[in-house]
Amino acid sequence: MKSEDLMPEPWEVAVVETPRSRSAEVVGSVPAVIGSAGERAAWRFLEFFAANIRNRNTREAYARAVRLFCEWLEARHVVDLRKVNPVMVAAYVEQLQGERSRPTVKQHLAAIRMLFDYLVTGGVLPMNPASAVRGPKYVVKRGKTPVLSAQDARLLLDSIDTSTVVGLRDRALIGLMVYSFARVGAAVGMKIEDYYPQGRRSWFRLHEKGGKRHEVPAHHNAESYMDAYLDAAGIKSEKKSPLFRTTRARTGELTERGMTRNDALRMVYRRANAAGVNVRASCHTFRATGITAYLENGGTIEGAQQIAAHESPRTTKLYDRTSDEITLDEVERITI
């Protein structure tokens, strides 16, 4: 492991005393090019991550982007933040385009631009050197997320050994993502109280990104999977506890700790391989699979958008693979 991998991220710096009493420590905890602009710049830098960005995933991604940019500047002996200009930022973006995908480049530029904006509004810099820099164009009309056919999705669900609580948990989690189009972050973040009865059916309460609380009725298959899991786990009364929990390696018993996205991803890889599914399935695969199956059976884009809690139908359309088979049929008309 590299020594820099052990360094805390900017938002992990503990702030328990007044800024004046810890000025040297704070300046030393930020990149040199930021610290060179003084204590105010250092604190504004930390505030950008700790107070301005509430989503943890965005915070981590932006911190990586900013750290790489600062390292790039320092490698070129740019140690004064006030000397960073649009030409430097453009040169960095140009280099990045040869190393990263276009969406990644756009994300890195957005992080740099937002940080400089925050420094400008905080009175650290007179202008934003990244505001005039344009990123690469990237237009997506069809998503890249691998999608399972309805047959493969059923094969995967039926292949899970449900004689153990772990198998029941895994089937319930995959079923939730397929039948409610839930993002994995919202799924593993559920508490037991987020699966609740309303009328004759059960509902899922999902806390999606952007602070949105999204409620969706449970499909009858997802409902039966969830009930079987909760009955076997014996945790129905623990309303405030994580719904999907990790297990102890030796005994296979559930712990009190909730699963993470990485835990869910490893589980999906393991289950897909065991089922012989021929697609490099990820957690997001089940969201796209559910939307495609819904549309194939007469559902509308507007309905899928509402279930998936998308802001725009264009986002929902990226998950639609119903046209793939039609396109293949048309290509096969080319008889030579």
Whether residue 193 sits in one domain with residue 97: no
Give the pLDDT score at 7: 44
Residue 289 domain-assigned (yes or no): yes
Whether residue 186 sits in one domain with residue 52: no
- What gap in Å lies between CA 36 and CA 82, rounded to an integer? 9
Residue 106 domain-assigned (yes or no): yes
- Which of 121, 141, 170 is the last residue in one of the domains? 121
Residue 129 domain-assigned (yes or no): no
* Closest-CA residue to 226 (of 216, 239, 236): 236
Whether residue 161 sits in one domain with residue 105: no
Give the pLDDT score at 15: 39
Q: Do 264 and 187 meet the contact criterion of CB atoms below 8 Å apart?
A: yes
Residue 87 domain-assigned (yes or no): yes
At 218, the amino acid letter reads: A
Q: How many domains does the chain have?
A: 2
Whether residue 64 sits in one domain with residue 163: no
List the chain residues with pLDDT less than 70.
Answer: 1-28, 138-144, 210-211, 278-279, 319-336
Residue 336 domain-assigned (yes or no): no
Whether residue 165 sits in one domain with residue 116: no
Whether residue 198 sits in one domain with residue 67: no
Whether residue 174 sits in one domain with residue 112: no
Cα 66 off chain centre by? 18
Residue 109 domain-assigned (yes or no): yes
For 23-58, give one letter per residue: b (16+ CB within 10 A) or e. Answer: eeebbebbbebbbbbeeebbbbbbebbbeebeeeeb
Give the pLDDT score at 327: 59
Q: Which helix (H) or strand (E) holds 158?
A: helix 150-159
- Which of 76, 102, 121 is the last residue in one of the domains? 121
Residue 53 domain-assigned (yes or no): yes
* Closest-CA residue to 261 (of 168, 184, 335): 184
Whether residue 248 sits in one domain with residue 174: yes
Please give the torsion angle defined by the CA atoms of residues 79, 81, 82 and 88, in that order, rounded to the nearest 10 degrees.
Answer: 90
Residue 166 domain-assigned (yes or no): yes
Whether residue 175 sits in one domain with residue 113: no
Whether residue 252 sits in one domain with residue 155: yes
Give the pLDDT score at 13: 44
Q: Report DSSP state, residue 22.
A: G
Q: Tell me the residue range of the domain where 101 lies.
A: 3-121
Whether residue 284 sits in one domain with residue 163: yes
Query: What CATH number is attached to the domain comprising 168?
Result: 1.10.443.10
Cα 319 off chain centre by? 16
Q: Do 247 and 259 meet the contact criterion of CB atoms below 8 Å apart?
A: no
**Please, which contacts does 33-39 make with residues 24 or more away whose CB atoms are closer than 8 Å?**
33/70, 33/73, 33/74, 33/78, 33/79, 33/80, 33/81, 33/84, 34/70, 34/81, 36/79, 36/80, 36/81, 37/80, 37/81, 37/82, 37/124, 37/125
Give the pLDDT score at 316: 76
Whether residue 104 sits in one domain with residue 8: yes
